[in-house]
Homo-oligomer: A and B are copies of this chain.
Amino acid sequence: MILINGRATSEIEVTDRGLQYGDGLFETIAVVSGRAVLYASHLKRLEADCRRLAIPVPEREVLDKEVAHLCQGISRGVLKIIVTRGSGGRGYRSPPQPQPTRILSIHPWPDYPAISSEYGITLRICRTPLGHNPYLAGMKHLSRLEQVLARNEWDDPMIPEGVMLDLQGYVIGGTMSNLFIVQEGNLQTPDLSSCGVAGVMRAFILEQAFALDLKVTVCSLTLLDLKRAEELFICNSLMGLWPVRRFEETEYPLGSVTQCLQRRIYSQLS
């Protein structure tokens, strides 16, 4: 089911700036037992990013009602919220009073094999780099061609994710996930002030690590750091946390820090 500005329809105006210029934002949210998981955190990010792009923030009450309506009766699914700057303006220039478009849709839960979260996954490396732009970094905006090109680099169904580097060769994250390493028992995750998406699950893991007395460093990570890591894992709002068991030529154990965090996250969110 799809609601566009509250109306059940599956089509939008071709003049919408989301289509014309990638001028908008989105959130991908897990739905479990009729409830949008980490909903408050997703809304907080959406609202913050709307402010960064000067897109009027959707009315909270309206959004809450629509989300509740769509999630009702869904035992396990995915809620996607898109907010665009709406139609209008001449060329790239926004209209003076943008009328945002709000698109909410429910999708089936992806067919992730249970083995990915239990046993872990194989990661590959992507050739497509992430460009730096501090003005866009961290946001889950609609201009996502870099991720599309990176994800199209491979077709092997046994490899669910690829690592993207920036142009300097620093590790930023997966095409659809954030990444952490464990080093000397503590966590490190890439700095996202120049590029990448600051995931809601990444933020949740940072909080949980704090509660578990794990030290976390947000820093620049190289491929050598990944190679030498004791443990490696990726995360997003749908997968939760997946241990990485192999990245190119390097193998990793199913480590205790990863498993401890994973147990805590799953128990907090179920």
Contact = CB atoms under 8 A, between A and B. Distances in A.
Interface in A143-170: 143-152, 167
A45 interface: no
A251 interface: no
A128 B105 CA distance: 32
B149 A135 contact: yes
Interface in A49-101: 53-54, 82, 84-85, 90-94
A265 to B, nearest CB: 21
Contact of A92 (B15, B16, B110, B151): B151
Interface stretch (A19-27, A179-187, A203-211, A220-228): A19-27
A136 interface: yes
A103 interface: yes
Interface in A5-38: 10-23, 26
Given A128-B135, A129-B133, A152-B93, A4 B14 contact: yes
B143 A92 contact: no
Interface in A195-234: 195
A42 interface: no
Contacts of A11: 11-14
A175 interface: yes
A135 B128 CA distance: 7
B136 A146 contact: yes
A166 to B, nearest CB: 9
Contact of A144 (B23, B53, B176): B23
A144 B22 contact: yes
A11 B53 CA distance: 25
A132 interface: yes
Nearest to A154: B93
B93 A151 contact: yes
A21 B131 contact: no
A24 to B, nearest CB: 8
A142 interface: yes
A2 interface: yes
A245 interface: no
A88 to B, nearest CB: 12
B151 A146 contact: no
23 contacts: A4-B14, A10-B14, A12-B12, A12-B14, A18-B19, A19-B142, A20-B142, A20-B144, A21-B145, A21-B148, A22-B142, A23-B144, A23-B148, A53-B145, A92-B175, A93-B151, A93-B152, A130-B133, A131-B136, A133-B167, A136-B146, A142-B143, A143-B146
